[in-house]
A and B are shown apart, each in its own frame.
Chain A
Amino acid sequence: MTALLEVQGLQKRFPMGGGGMLPCRRAAPSFLHAVEDVSFTLRAGETLGLVGESGCGKSTLARLLARLLDPTEGSIRLGGQEIGAIPAKRFGAIPATRPGAMPSTRPGAMPPRAAIQMVFQDAEGSINPRHTAFEAIARPLRQLSRLSGAELRTRVERTAALCGLPAELLGRFPHQLSGGQKARVGIARAVATEPALLVLDEPTSALDVSVQVVILDLLRSLQARTGAAYVFVSHDLNVVRLLCDRVLVMYLGRVVEEGAAETLFAAPAHPYTRALVGAVSVPGRRKGEERVRLSGEPRSPIDPDPQACRFHGRCPIGQDLCARAAPPVHELPGGRRVACHFPLTAGAMAAA
């Protein structure tokens, strides 16, 4: 079976404006390496988790995939079609071929904006405060699927119902909705056009645990119905574990480890993954239990040394080599990959 999404060597560098304020002016312009050489594939109906600490490039990668941002380099193929090279501005403007048309991911067909949709963390900030819930859900349908009138109304109401939003809430403005209801509107708006790929950037981070479960359940049942693929960004490993089949662990723009969620959490192969997994707090865990702690601060993402591991300096098992050579990528059984000079493979092999 072919992949829905194939990402190859994806890179995003942000130019850092003029060096006038710096004490020593550099000759070459500086770049912030937000996403470096990221490759992976994703099948329909599959959920890929994206984890790592803040600033590691999760949102930038999410926005690249959702084609809200243009890559500096690399390829993004959706249904065999290269979409990485289409400027984000134009990508957003490609309409459906006929009213109500399903977004196509067939090779050769141009996948419209409707095929990839994004759900943002801040449902509050991403919904226009002057739009009712109805209008928020209707907009992409009107613009991308070219629906109107009774057809539009039916589709909005059907989507809302699917997302657990009672019809009587559709007339409300964002400030009249609870946090959980706003999250539902954000999801309904994104799934209205029946996208093949849904990119979710921390969709439950702002919610209380009491409502988080409902939203996660909703996402799972929607996926079972639509067969959409999910890219699920979160810094909460306990949540990622619940929803994801596979996980990419990022550190300062690079993927340091990839693997099936279960095995990766059970036996991390990268020392950063191990620290991440070990830092998760667990209700009822005994106090004073030995845990891996990272010391030091992350390296700067601006003009990083290409000849060094980006985790070096904070890595509990780093050696001289790590400062002199970028780590190789080891392929382990079960589609597992780890970028490290000294992977913790013994445990990882056993788990694979």
Chain B
Amino acid sequence: MTDAAALAPAATARAAPPRVPVLDVAGLSVQFRTRSGTVHALDEVSLQVHRGECLGVVGESGSGKSVTAYAVMRLLDPAARITAGRITFGGMDILAASEREMADLRGRELSMIFQNPRAALNPIRQVGMQIADVLVRHGGVTRAEAPARAAALLAEVGIPDPVRRAKAYPFELSGGMCQRVGIALALACRPALLIADEPTTGLDVTTQAVIMDLVLGLARARGMATVLITHDLGLASEYCDRTAVMHAGHVVEAAPAADLFAAPRHPYTAKLIAATPQPGRALSDLAAIPGGLPDLRRGDLPACRFLDRCERAEPGCAVPPLPRHLSEDGRMVACRHPL
């Protein structure tokens, strides 16, 4: 179960002094109890992120990306049950922390930006005041200093005329501007880890590029660790150091981003890349992925949940446990017949 826990720097860490990851998710399993059965949303998910590193998490919708993020933030739906695993953040056991400790952590050390920036903001409070509130509550800033600090943060995320914009309400700002405010809010207290869940999905490509430059630029400058959740392989490959691919609640492959795209090892990763439109490829060069995610309410889910969609599958693939091969080059692949 924990053979995948030492995932990230497998080869290098043994020689060099061990790097302690900022975030260590080890063998995390999450289920949801619903009226129509138990949803096996995550099954032994392991991820690590180090200081200054950006980890991409990709996969089609329903693969468990958001559930993983919410578990780390301890913001899971009450119907969720964590049935196995550990989440360690900066040496602290997240799953054992009290609600108060978590509230404090979320404001200060652990931040998240969401897909819908407007929904994450208070619609009836000026954006500058919202940032000021966070600074006062978690950042040890006085009420008197807070407005100026908030304006400085808005300037840092590239909002022109920040003193005046601080007085705007969310509805007065464009989607791109709201996402910048969301970023300013998330970064107000200089967190050690930022989780960005599809931060640019509703935005234009031109805005998307600017926002990603901004987030990653600030992350690098501050040595912050970042988890970028996205369904866009191109975005992950361009901005992340490492990429984890999720499918139906499993991390099926994790590798340095460039290696993953150059030479995928899990059949699902290869198919995702083959389905992604990109310059130089005609429609006939692309291949859809047959089938869909299995029903995660099934009681008899096979060990490999990609089985039904995979050409390389053979009967043994259904038999637990799902192998998680770690290799010297820092890659992990959860497949009996990798490429």
Which residues on A are within 8 Å of B, measured CB to CB?
53-54, 178-180, 208-214, 216-217, 220, 235-239, 241-243, 265, 275-276, 278-285, 287, 291, 293-298
Query: From DSSP, what is the main secondary structure of chain B's interface residues?
Result: helix
Contact flags (1/0) for B195-209 with A, using CB distance below 8 Å? 000000001111111
> Which stretch of B83-91, B106-114, B271-279, B321-329 is in the interface?
B271-279
Contact A294 B206 (CB under 8 A): yes
Contact A54 B61 (CB under 8 A): no
Besides A238-B277, A293-B213, 17 other A-B contacts (C-beta < 8 A): A53-B207, A179-B61, A208-B231, A211-B288, A211-B289, A212-B277, A213-B275, A213-B283, A213-B286, A235-B204, A238-B276, A241-B277, A281-B205, A281-B208, A281-B232, A295-B158, A298-B174
Contact B271 A210 (CB under 8 A): yes
With contacts A283-B233, A293-B209, A297-B160 taken as known, whether A216 is within 8 angstroms of B283 at the C-beta atoms is yes
User: Which residues from chain A contact B275 at a C-beta distance below 8 Å?
Assistant: 209-210, 212-213
With contacts A53-B207, A54-B204, A210-B288 taken as known, whether A282 is within 8 angstroms of B234 at the C-beta atoms is yes
User: Which residues from chain B contact A295 at a C-beta distance below 8 Å?
Assistant: 158, 210
Q: Return A197 CB to nearest CB of chain B, in Å.
A: 21
Which residues on B are within 8 Å of A, measured CB to CB?
60-61, 158, 160, 174-177, 203-210, 213, 231-235, 237-239, 258, 261-262, 271-273, 275-279, 281-283, 286-289, 292
- In angstroms, Cα B291 to Cα A210, docked, is 9
Contact A238 B278 (CB under 8 A): yes
Q: Chain B: which residue is nearest A285 at the CB level?
A: B238
Contact of B234 among A220, A280, A287, A294 (CB under 8 A): A280
Contact A210 B205 (CB under 8 A): no
- In angstroms, Cα B167 to Cα A88, docked, is 42
User: Which residues from chain B contact A209 at a C-beta distance below 8 Å?
Assistant: 60, 231, 233, 272, 275-277
Q: Return A269 CB to nearest CB of chain B, in Å.
A: 17
Contact B277 A287 (CB under 8 A): no
Contact B278 A283 (CB under 8 A): yes
- In angstroms, Cα B237 to Cα A280, docked, is 12
User: Which residues from chain A contact B261 at a C-beta distance below 8 Å?
Assistant: 283-284
- In angstroms, Cα B238 to Cα A242, docked, is 22
Contact B206 A208 (CB under 8 A): no
Which of A236, A276, A281 gathers most chain B CB within 10 Å?
Answer: A281
